[in-house]
Structure 1
Amino acid sequence: MSLEKAKQYLGSKGFLNHIIEPDVTTGTVAEAAAALGVEPGRIAKTLSFLQGDKAVLILVEGDAKVDNHKYKETFHTKAKMIPYDEVEHWVGHAPGGVCPFGINAGVEVWLDESLRKFETVYPAAGNDHSAVKLTLPELEQACEAKGWVDVCKTPQV
């Protein structure tokens, strides 16, 4: 059902032909990178947080981790991930397919600066056997992001 919601949403934005449906799972960053033949950083993982009674999604580079200090400075609240078994209720997609497309009303979407090092990224498309190939401008347009934030730390190379 979530893949269908994402497809309908992406179709309405003109990005239906950007969806990729591999025969293998894309439920983790490593699995998605292997399935798509790209480096893990290009997987735009969608992290889900609760801010009071509001769900917030932040798309980050696949290798990035949330920096709790930066998150609190940006959102003026402690980073609180949505519990695994509640993600689908809050967001509209289950873990492994969480994406900013076809989500529940009222969920805010933000993009993390860690994505800016790539021209093209691959967020999920509603389930653990899907992805969407988008340039950063396309991603901004497709997910109707509220803006860009800097809330992650990336591995040192």
Structure 2
Amino acid sequence: MSITAVKSYFKELGLEDRVLEFSVSSATVALAAQAVGCEEARIAKTLSFLVDGHAVLIVTAGDAKIDNRKFKDQFHTKAKMLTAEELAALVGHAPGGVCPFAVPDTVEVWLDESLRRFSTVFPAAGSDNSAIELSCGELERFSRARGWADLCKGWRPEEQ
């Protein structure tokens, strides 16, 4: 089970006590915000795409949506989300618990600029009823992200 792998990963970092497990589902942004007790925008949702035969994870704020033009400019291909089968095979997490932790080295992780407006965010921790609170710096470090990119729309005040 992938939460076991995520907990083990954070145990190696001395942070296993920061993994939150809920008695309710946190599989969607709305459910995760309710479980955590924060606004939906602070949920760091992890979206999974297929790029050149490998998985690319983009971690965005809960209120952001992928901008197809920005995605194509960054990755030189159209945005194509992974199927549940591809997700399991390439990333090792199931829908609802996808996170950028304890993933194979072949998985590329990018963080979206929409997250930087928060001091802390809540990505999933490998199951559909878990999360971990991290600063953006911790998220970058622990996810082994390739970097930050502007890949989303709908979260800036002028876009709403």
Please indicate, yes or no, whether the TM-score normalized by the shorter chain is above 0.5.
yes
Shorter chain as denominator, the TM-score bin is: over 0.9
- 2:70 counterpart of 1:70: yes
Query: What per-residue deviation string (whole Å, max 9, x for no partner) do you get for residues 100-141 of structure 1?
Result: 111123101110000011110000000001001001111111
Match of residue 40 from structure 1: 40
Please show how residues 1-150 of structure 1 align to structure 2 within 5 Å: 1-150=1-150
Amino acid at match of 2:13: K
Contact 1:114 1:154 in 2 (8 A): no
> Offset of 1:17 from its aligned partner?
2.0
Q: What is the CA distance between 1:99 and its match in structure 2?
A: 0.4
Please state whether the residue corresponding to 1:122 is helix, strand or coil: strand
TM-score for both structures, normalised by structure 1? 0.96
Superposition RMSD in Å: 1.1
What per-residue deviation string (whole Å, max 9, x for no partner) do you get for residues 75-108 of structure 1? 1111111113321111110000000111123101
Write the letter of the residue equivalent to 2:118.
F
Show structure 1 runs of 5+ residues with no match.
none
Q: d(CA) in 2 for partners of 1:51 and 1:35?
A: 32
1:154 is displaced (CA, Å) by: 2.0
**Superposition misfits of 4+ residues, deviation over 3 angstroms:** none
Scaled by the length of structure 2, what TM-score is found? Answer: 0.94
In the alignment of these two chains, the number of paired residues is 157
Question: Which stretches in structure 2 are left out of the alignment for 5+ residues?
Answer: none
